[in-house]
Amino acid sequence: MSRPLRIVLVLALVLASILFGVRGLRRQQHARQVIRECMAATDTLEKSPPGFARGDEFIRRIKAIDTRGAPNDLVAALHEHIDLLERSFAALREGKDHEQLDKQVAAAKERFAANVRKYW
């Protein structure tokens, strides 16, 4: 292999490494932004008076979070948590048994928390 070809290959490898590193950093930044917005929504929830409006506002805020660029596993865990929260809240409103759904919400919340720890 000629010297110029080796130099080009090494430079291509270095450039690819840098690009993948930057991509990883951007994903980490997006993940942290999603996490910060979830924390802000949770903080607001904890300061709100009890009632359905409190739950509605929390769900509205976490659904509005822009997850573009965030890692897929974090986004999937967040969407699972949101879906189960909505279903549990709807059951509560309708006077249906929501105990099983609440257990699923707790499990989904833990899966989301595991992803938060991974990216924070």
Instruction: Specify the pTM.
Output: 0.82
Alpha-carbon distance 36 to 3, whole Å? Answer: 49
Which residues touch 31 (CB under 8 Å, ≥6 apart)?
Answer: 70, 71, 74, 119, 120
DSSP letter at 9 equals: H
Q: What angle do CA 44, 103, 81 make, to 5 degrees?
A: 50
CA atoms of 99 and 108, how far apart (whole Å) = 14
52-100 residue pLDDT tens: 999 999 999 999 999 999 999 999 999 999 999 999 999 999 999 989 9
User: pLDDT value at position 73?
Assistant: 97
Helix (H, G, I), strand (E, B), or coil: what is residue 70? coil
Model pLDDT for residues 94-119, shown as the tens digit of each residue: 999 989 999 999 999 999 999 999 99
pLDDT at 2 over 90: no
Q: What is the DSSP string of 82-93?
A: HHHHHHHHHHHH
On whether the CB atoms of residues 63 and 38 are closer than 8 A, the answer is: no
What is the per-residue burial (b if ≥16 Cβ within 10 Å, else e) of 66-96?
Answer: ebeebbeebbebbebbbebbbebbebeeeee
pLDDT of residue 71: 96
